[in-house]
Every structure is written in C-alpha cells, then in structure tokens.
Amino acid sequence: MDNIAGPPVEGDNFFGRAADINTLRELLEHHDLLLLGPRRIGKTSIARALMRAMREAGWRVVEINVAACLDERAFVEKLEAVLQQETASLGDKLWNSVSASLSAIRARIQTVRIPGMIGVELRAASAEDWTTVASELIALIARLDQRWLIYIDELPIMLLTRIIRGDPATGVERVRRFLDWFRNDVRGLPGAARVRWLISGSIGLDTLVQQHAMADTINTLRQVTLPPFTEPEATAMLDRLGARYGLALAPTDAATLLAAIQWLQPYYVQLAFSELRGLLAARPGAAPDTLIDATIEQVAQSSADNDFHHWEKRLAEQLAPATAGHARALLNQAAATRDGARAELLLATLAERLPNATAEDVKQIFVDLRDILLRDGYWGAAEGAEGRRYRFLLEPLRRWWRRRNTL
Ligand SMILES: Nc1ncnc2c1ncn2[C@@H]1O[C@H](COP(=O)(O)OP(=O)(O)OP(=O)(O)O)[C@@H](O)[C@H]1O
Ligand SMILES: [Mg+2]
C-alpha cells in the first residue's frame, strides 16, 4: 500500500471500509444513494471500490464526474458517452444495437433546449427539452435485462457553482427542474428500478436545496456518509504503511499521533504519515518517536494550507454571506481550545451579531447553523460538567483555524 494523500485511491491502496462497502451494496438493492461529506473523506475512493464490487456481482457500472459541466447539455453528453462506451464494450448483437441507438441520440443532444439560456431558443425554436433526450438515454439501458449503477461525482458543484451562480436569473429554477427530472421523470420510466444512482459531492446538496426551499426534490435519495476510521483501523493502516516504507511506529507513538489527529479519516492519517516520512528524510537516522510532535505541528502548519482552506471556502460557497460570517464567528470561538466552546457562549456570540433579532430567532438561526456544522464535519457535540460544548472534530484543523484567525 502506497502513502497517497490527495487523489482517489484504488486497489491495494484502498484500505479497510469493507463494512461500509457492504452497507452501500445492500442499500443499492432498493435505494438511490446520496453520498455527501467534506473534501477528502474518501467519497470517490469508496465509490470506485463499490463499483468494482458491483461489477463483479454482474452489474454494469459507469462513472461520470460532472464538476466541469457548464450546463445540462454537457451533463447529458457525458452520460451518453459513458453509456455508449459501456454498451459497446460488450460486443454482442443486442448491446451493439443499443450502443448504436445511444449514438444516434448524440446529434439531438447538441440542439436540446435549456430553459433560461439565451441564444438557444433563437437557434432552435423547435428544439427538444434536454430532459426528453436524457430520459431516452436512460430508457434505452433500462429496457435491457441488466442492472445498472450510474455514479455521478461532484453533482453539487455543477448545480451550485455552474448553474445557480452562472445563471442568476433562472439558475434556481433549472436546478429544481434537474432534480425533478431525476426524481420524477427517470423513476417513471419502464424498468427504472433496474437503474440505480450513486450521487456524491463535497458541497452540501442538502444545505443547497434547503436554502432554496426544494428539499422535497432529493427526498427519494437515501443519504449516506463515511464515518472516520476507528482507532484500531487507523492503527492497522499505519502498520501497513510502516511496513511498506520500513518505518515501523511503536504502539504508543502511533497512539500519540492518532490522538493528535482526533478525527481519523484516512486522508489525515495518510497526511500525517507523509509528513513523518518527510521529516525523517531530512534527518536520516532519527528515531521516529522523536519526530511525533514535529509531525503533528507540521500537519497543522502552513505547508498543509491547501488541505484546510477548503473548509473555510465551503462556508462562503454554500451559505449566504451574513450566515457564513456567523458560522466563522462560531468556529473562531470553538477553535480557541481543544475542548471547544459552551453552547450558551456560542449562542451569546450569535445574539451579539444579531442585535435586532428576537431571542427566538437567534436560537433558530443557531440551531440551523449548528446542524450544518455538525453535518459537514466541522465540529461535534460533547457533554461536559457544565453542559454541552461544541468542539472541532479535526484537531489539526482547529490549530490551523485558530492560527489563521489570530492577529
Ligand atoms: N480507504 C482508504 N484507504 C486509504 N486512504 C484513503 C481511503 N479513503 C480515502 N483515503 C485518503 O483520502 C484521500 C482522498 O480520497 P478521495 O479522493 O476518495 O476523497 P473525496 O472525498 O472524493 O475527496 P474530494 O471531495 O476532494 O473529491 C486519498 O488520497 C487518501 O489519502
Ligand atoms: Mg472525490
């Protein structure tokens, strides 16, 4: 197993998560899944491991990443391309004919109508709606006696940053139509139950739809998340990496390292191991146990800036500016100590920022924000002697956050 901290991992580099894969497999028998979670928690990696398992079980599987899709047409184009490729790869007569039918739709995709997009109407007043063509693609594969898994990665980016941001006039309406297509049109197709969907992304699609009062559009998707590793799992991963790089850690050192990370998502364990390797390379012959503290500091230091910036950025991406400001203020307060901040004090901070709101309104805003920050992995609740506290889950992120917000 290689020490990879960043891109999706596959095959031997994918560690553990066997139980999670089984759960997802079982859920896919009857549900479409929405896998949301902060960046780098391993969504793409587990989706690919799941795809492999489904393929072995006889399903046809395809993956598209729609982060770069500027509109619905680009989405349909990508979908057509992978379905076409998958059906053609089978090489028999029936599949070839489906593949040919898919290809025949390609030309129509170029002229589809997308609501709110100026110019398109002028070019083709009689053009079909994009949903008609997209549904036909799905209908073609649903007709086959075969189960399908379609994995769509980064859908929230397409919906939020491309469509809503890119089209202030009708973007929200288009997103609603997109999600409605998915929920109603696709499900209404004959054989639709043979086609299962796995949708993932790091920006909260749940928060997005709530904000635009369209939570109903995703209520048929089963939401799933990826829990962090347990300490024994993370220790086993460190052992595996240690064996690969001749860098065995004594159990107490491994425990210290993991305690300092606190939230044992595999990415942060990989990151710590990689920092430790870097320190050892600079000091050949040093005993690993003398470098544990420096490793922890290194993880929370500026060299790792890119790894933490997205935590701050996503607040601005998915929340209104004033709300994002409140979230930052609450997090600044919680970052002050490892134990976090008491709920009452956080509420008081929010009340100070909202001098014209009633106590009831402040409480409601607090509860909404608290839940978003819980769901998105910023903080967790802990019961202490003097009541409930909210504290950062990822200790290196807390250190980074505190340093960043210290003058
Ligand atoms: N099962 C695993 N075993 C080992 N490392 C893992 C595993 N899952 C995730 N990782 C670590 O997390 C990193 C990111 O994984 P991945 O790209 O799958 O996450 P993601 O949630 O899709 O991230 P993004 O939101 O940025 O797309 C990998 O480079 C690796 O360091
Ligand atoms: Mg990913």
Q: Please state the rounded mean pLDDT for residues 18-35.
A: 95
Q: For the chain, which residues make up each domain, given as ranges?
A: 17-224, 231-300, 305-404
118 has pLDDT over 70:
no
302 has pLDDT over 70:
no
Residue 123: the pLDDT is 54
CATH of domain 305-404: 1.10.10.10
pLDDT class for 401, splitting at 50, 70, 90?
A: very high
More confident residue, 375 or 366: 366
Q: Which two tokens stand for residue 130?
A: 């994009």
Q: Please state the rounded mean pLDDT for residues 340-356.
A: 97
Q: Please state the rounded mean pLDDT for residues 355-375.
A: 95
Residue closest to 354 by CA, chosen among 336, 329, 331: 329
What's the 57 CA to ligand 1 centre distance in angstroms? 24
Which segment of 114-128, 305-319, 331-345 scores lowest on mean pLDDT? 114-128
Residue 108: the pLDDT is 87
Convert the pLDDT of each residue in 61-110 to its tens digit.
999 999 999 999 999 999 999 999 998 887 778 788 888 888 888 888 88
Q: Pick from 1, 2, 3, 9 the residue to mutate for probing ligand 1's pocket: most ligand atoms within 8 Å of its CB.
A: 9
Ligand 1 contacts CB of residue 242 (under 6 A): no
269 Cα nearest atom in ligand 1: 31
What's the 229 CA to ligand 1 centre distance in angstroms? 12
Convert the pLDDT of each residue in 141-200 to its tens digit.
998 889 999 999 999 999 988 999 899 999 999 999 999 999 999 999 999 999 999 999
**Superfamily in which the 17-224 domain is placed by CATH:** P-loop containing nucleotide triphosphate hydrolases (3.40.50.300)
The model's pTM: 0.92
What's the 351 CA to ligand 1 centre distance in angstroms? 38
Residue 214: the pLDDT is 86
The residue whose C-alpha atom lies closest to atom 31 belonging to ligand 1 is: 5
Residue 126: the pLDDT is 62
| CB-facing half-sphere around the CA of 315: CA atoms within 13 A | 21
Ligand 1 contacts CB of residue 16 (under 6 A): yes
Place of tokens 């003058």: 407
pLDDT mean across residues, the chain = 91
Convert the pLDDT of each residue in 239-263 to its tens digit.
999 999 999 899 999 999 999 999 9
